[in-house]
Structure 1
């Protein structure tokens, strides 16, 4: 059936529906539509496995509309969706598909809106009800939503619905369903909890599986940028200004970040707004309407509230934060490239998130192109070009004559020529988005550092014999006087680990492993040794360094808070304290002793009960052969930096 159906006219649909599809420009059904519509028209229970963007809303909506009895005032179909936004979107699509059906009433019901208004609408009659499980259950319990005439129940995005905690509500509603009603379930994945609902409520369902034919992914150009050189906020600004966008969605993980980033972009002249679950429903609906009408161009949103959002203007999806799972990524990029349209998705990814990126590529069977962030000069040129286009459009306006007179008056009053006055006005115009930059672009240094790292890795691979390793080990030995100790205002209480410190310094400052000395974690701060001979540019980057999205506010500490040398003390290091990131790898028992120490240190690091954890490797009195733990603790306490005392 799927392969033989090439046009909607081959399906047994009413002329009113076919004319609506033709008006919308749809001639050929998608695979999920070609497979589902003939089955659903027969009244068979069905289980459809289809991801977002495959056209599944029309797949179940067209059969519903085809079977309606317009003379019946009670609901004949209940469609349940996991979120308010998706319920609104599904209802809107059903209305568009049924635009030629006179007297059609489609009602959306969900929490956050007036239940009194919804009860009043039900009383006046509705043919199809689209809602969230909680509100549907509430209205059934109040005896305002009657199911005795319902012939079809649809669960859309069932996996998301059940994952969000609607299991009990969905189960209760399905228990109230008339025995003769058709049950239809669509889901992108089939976890056990969905399978339980299927086994319990669907009767010998027809199975439709087109999950591997997701057209959204194939229609969306996917790119990624590895975060380096600049903060992600500035990266977003550069991308938004140089990409050929109409409207965009920027996905972040937390509600707080939606507000922060939207405010940051708005302060720089972008038409941006936040969208998250704490925003009142009326404001959320108004925000979505604003992006549809062009009042705003950028939505900064969390995953849940953007589900089902279908705005034709959205050409770009920016993943400011990488999602936790592949399904969320597919849902995100599904906000563009819908219904045959092309779109673009750009992911901002940190170096420690590359593995998740590769997982997304593997599961979606797609390949992402790595891109470089536009340089500041390119951004400035884009701003100037946009300003020129705006001025070009205004130069023929008749109202400019009065402003010409103002220019002449201003020239006389402040005694400047026309060119200087124009320059002054341009400076005001630029606001927080400069038309040109002064000083070097930090991205240039970042790209050069990346090139140097790759060259070093290649050279190290070429010299990888034992003798060369010995030479490199010799070069790593520095005098303690060559180091400065910096205090970073992040520590264990912020969830920071030594690997975060090392990764941030290596990636953001371009320092190699030989240029990172001892590291000591404390609850609220961290001490790290770095070379005294760092360039002013690197020191400047260090002061701006962020670790786990927190400013480090690095400052040099004058006191000797880190007594451990990078390679261990040359005077013998009486207590064998390894202290920092590198520590002493030689002596004190040779290879076997070193292995024993490392094993002891790993056990030590897992003891999360007290502040005596101290440095990265931990502190051990290896000279104590009887392993007395009390002596060890006294030794550790005695070596604490003064700021922890």
Structure 2
């Protein structure tokens, strides 16, 4: 039977929730003065030993809601391979690991990240040191369970599925089944997601025992501090509208979501030719290059990140001012995750969807899902079209550049399969040459 967990009286401090002194000190060092709603509601039940289903908007602090109870239990047990967190993306896995290490700094927690794109031998060395916490993508965890000698999860006490709705996609289904078949049945299981789907309900029945459901948000919602609009246009002028919008938002930290990996690269090059500090990130890039692009964005070296939905889940980039949907997502629920990259932790934010004649139906499904009609973006179309000639020339030059890079890559013997680093390093070269000219 599923019990509801939203009747507990709200507590204003982590200490009042039952968090131990060492972890309260760690929270204070991170600037966490008061628990968020999902933390205040979930942590007491977790400390009581309950299985949890946590539904909360992105940016609500749900990572802390499972990290703190696990660390508190680890403080008492001090066992290796104590908890495993499964994540749908490499970046989110790395970010969760960083949260464990930051909050566990006072108690000496050891954490290992198992994700693709990184040498398995290096990861096996970390596993041989018997870390307390493993954060992994499902496929790479299965690889280690099958191939890394001496590694098993027999001592596992906690299993967390973060972004659970995404983990239940067909891409992860087989790996997830294999993991659930080899871990102990006597364990605590936490399932966290921003959205509840039929697949999440199915998983809940399969691997949780009498869970407490914590619903810190309505079923499919966006935060009140987020301003959302759409902008309707002919598809042939979409790039002009994007450039106009970025010019209006000059200086803002912006994420632009597209539907394909190739488009992230093309738009990034085009925008740089127009003087914008843009960089791409997508699933075809190697892990090192994806992290390099993400770190440049976080550090402010570039302020426009052109991305696919690989960047829509869980990434905590506090200073994102604007989210632009260059392409409307095929799955309406992905819209919630995309716009959740801004207006995080009580801050305000702005999201605008560039809507052409081919995407109207998908957009109407989004409005239906979030239960509100959005207003149009106010702009003079004549001003936008003044950019057309410049934008088309930049696109022409970008096409030539990509073809030239593709030709060099084909001629190179044993070249890197993923040439997206050209975008990252060319961005750095441009920046370096500007500095040289200033000197």
Same fold (TM over 0.5): yes
The answer to whether the Cα contact below 8 Å between 2:57 and 2:221 also exists between their aligned partners in 1 is no
* Separation in structure 2 between the aligned mates of residue 340 and residue 273 of structure 1, nearest angstrom: 27
* Separation in structure 1 between the aligned mates of residue 8 and residue 177 of structure 2, nearest angstrom: 32
Change beyond 3 A, Cα 1:164–1:331: farther
Match 2:14 to one of 8, 12, 29: 8
Aligned to 1:141: 146
Deviations 1:102-153 (A, max 9, x none): 4222221101111111111111231111110111111122345332322100
Change beyond 3 A, Cα 1:350–1:235: same
The answer to whether the Cα contact below 8 Å between 2:196 and 2:219 also exists between their aligned partners in 1 is no
Deviations 1:298-351 (A, max 9, x none): 111111344222212311111001112321000001111112222111110124
Aligned to 1:234: 240
Deviations 1:446-503 (A, max 9, x none): xxxxxxxxxxxxxxxxxxxxxxxxxxxxxxxxxxxxxxxxxxxxxxxxxxxxxxxxxx
* Separation in structure 2 between the aligned mates of residue 212 and residue 348 of structure 1, nearest angstrom: 26
Match 1:330 to one of 321, 332, 336: 336
* Separation in structure 2 between the aligned mates of residue 229 and residue 346 of structure 1, nearest angstrom: 16
Structure index of larger Rg: 1
Change beyond 3 A, Cα 1:441–1:190: closer
Aligned to 1:364: 370
Aligned to 2:115: 110
Deviation at 1:374, TM superposition (A): 5.6
Match 1:42 to one of 20, 24, 48: 48
Aligned to 1:319: 325
Match 1:167 to one of 153, 157, 173: 173
Match 1:80 to one of 86, 100, 105: 86
Deviation at 1:376, TM superposition (A): 7.6
* Separation in structure 1 between the aligned mates of residue 309 and residue 288 of structure 2, nearest angstrom: 19
* Separation in structure 2 between the aligned mates of residue 210 and residue 144 of structure 1, nearest angstrom: 41
Deviation at 1:71, TM superposition (A): 8.0
Aligned to 2:3: none
Q: Secondary structure at the match of 2:156?
A: coil
Aligned to 2:204: 198
Q: Secondary structure at the match of 1:4?
A: coil
Matches within 5 A, 1:468-547: none
Match 1:249 to one of 238, 255, 263: 255
Matches within 5 A, 1:204-215: 204-212=210-218
Matched, 1:188 2:194: yes
CA RMSD of aligned residues (A): 2.7
Matched, 1:344 2:350: yes
Change beyond 3 A, Cα 1:242–1:193: closer
The answer to whether the Cα contact below 8 Å between 1:275 and 1:301 also exists between their aligned partners in 2 is yes
Matched, 1:31 2:71: no
Q: Secondary structure at the match of 1:107?
A: strand
Q: Secondary structure at the match of 1:198?
A: helix
* Separation in structure 1 between the aligned mates of residue 123 and residue 48 of structure 2, nearest angstrom: 31
* Separation in structure 2 between the aligned mates of residue 348 and residue 354 of structure 1, nearest angstrom: 10
Deviations 1:376-418 (A, max 9, x none): 87x9xxxxxxxxxxxxxxxxxxxxxxxxxxxxxxxxxxxxxxx
Matches within 5 A, 1:575-590: none
Change beyond 3 A, Cα 1:4–1:195: closer
Deviation at 1:214, TM superposition (A): 7.4
Matched, 1:120 2:131: no
* Separation in structure 1 between the aligned mates of residue 297 and residue 190 of structure 2, nearest angstrom: 32
Deviation at 1:61, TM superposition (A): 0.9
Change beyond 3 A, Cα 1:15–1:216: farther
Q: Secondary structure at the match of 2:321?
A: strand
Aligned to 2:65: 59
Deviation at 1:73, TM superposition (A): 5.8
* Separation in structure 2 between the aligned mates of residue 144 and residue 162 of structure 1, nearest angstrom: 28
* Separation in structure 2 between the aligned mates of residue 442 and residue 296 of structure 1, nearest angstrom: 22
Change beyond 3 A, Cα 1:245–1:347: farther
* Separation in structure 2 between the aligned mates of residue 81 and residue 12 of structure 1, nearest angstrom: 27
Aligned to 2:435: none
* Separation in structure 2 between the aligned mates of residue 376 and residue 130 of structure 1, nearest angstrom: 51
The answer to whether the Cα contact below 8 Å between 1:50 and 1:214 also exists between their aligned partners in 2 is no
TM-score normalised by length of structure 1: 0.56
TM-score normalised by length of structure 2: 0.80
The answer to whether the Cα contact below 8 Å between 2:220 and 2:369 also exists between their aligned partners in 1 is no
Change beyond 3 A, Cα 1:176–1:371: same
Change beyond 3 A, Cα 1:104–1:376: farther
* Separation in structure 2 between the aligned mates of residue 183 and residue 374 of structure 1, nearest angstrom: 53
* Separation in structure 2 between the aligned mates of residue 32 and residue 127 of structure 1, nearest angstrom: 25
Matched, 1:294 2:294: no
Deviation at 1:37, TM superposition (A): 0.6
* Separation in structure 2 between the aligned mates of residue 46 and residue 11 of structure 1, nearest angstrom: 16
Query: How many pairs does the alignment contain?
Result: 384
* Separation in structure 2 between the aligned mates of residue 102 and residue 166 of structure 1, nearest angstrom: 33
The 10-residue stretch of structure 1 (324-333 or 345-354) with the greater mean CA deviation from structure 2: 345-354
Deviation at 1:25, TM superposition (A): 3.2
Structure 2: runs of 5+ lacking an equivalent? 1-6, 394-439
